[in-house]
Amino acid sequence: MAMRLSDLLDSKERLLLDISHELRSPLTRIKVQLEFLHDEEVREALGADVAEMEAMVSAILEKARLRASATALKLETVEISELIRTVAEEFTERPPGIVCHALEAAEVRADREKMRMVMRNLMDNALKHTPDDGEAVTISTARKPDGIDIVVEDRGEGIPENALPQIFDPFFRADASRSRRTGGYGLGLSLCKAIIDAHKGRIEVASTPGRGTRVAVTLPLGEKKTGQGRSGRVALI
């Protein structure tokens, strides 16, 4: 039974991967045709949908590459607090804002661009599931003997307890009746987990409906660093 289930899941992932490959060309053609639309509002709306589909396709293919090869990561020494600050600055116009605090200087061996992708996804999800007039999303880090913890926390709608086991499944929606904007986590968390797993780290989600969600990422530390980097508090609201 377990073998049959594993084969079924593998077949599903292969099908998803094949479809993703096939979608790339028609999506490119659609983008070209959109340039000839005279209605700017329609062009922008359709362009946003195409961009979202392209992001999904890229995420599926990226996840497959991570699972297929250990060389999918381009490892280098990354100062994680600086990376977090840089990504947070991308969201300065998004309410209710992001507050970075207690960012401890720590170097990790990581793929810089893929870690940017992880942090971007976590921040985007936290903002997306928090009311515009709610409390700001908070990001903090804490060094431990075996690694560094990165915590992204919001005071948003939260996730039902019975849905948490599926939170890393592709296209997961805690409530199928919700809109695409607020109901799902898309491929984001699924890809985040694949990236963190490839770094031999951990990612965990805790949530209480009506009170918010806490996502904790743990990465192994790189070589020890002499001196102290920047820490403290940066408000991006």
> What are the tens digits of pLDDT across the range 87-124?
999 999 999 999 998 898 899 999 999 999 999 999 99
The pLDDT, as a whole number, for residue 15 is 64
Q: Which fold, 2-71?
A: Helix Hairpins (1.10.287)
Q: What is the pTM of this model?
A: 0.74
From 28-37, 48-57, 222-231, the region with the lowest mean pLDDT: 222-231
Distance between CA atoms of 193 and 168, rounded to whole angstroms? 7
Domain-wise residue ranges, the chain:
2-71, 74-236
The answer on pLDDT for 10 being more than 70 is no
Nearest C-alpha neighbor of 233 from the set 98, 91, 103, 86? 103
Is there a contact between 95 and 132 (Cβ–Cβ < 8 Å)? yes
**Strand, coil or helix: 64:** helix
Decide whether 2-71 matches 74-236 in CATH topology. Answer: no
CB 150 within 8 A of CB 157: no
Domain 74-236 has CATH 3.10.580.10: no
Candidate ranges 33-42, 62-71, 201-210; pick with highest mean pLDDT:
201-210
Which class for 191: exposed (0-12), middle (13-18), buried (19 or more C-beta within 10 A)? buried
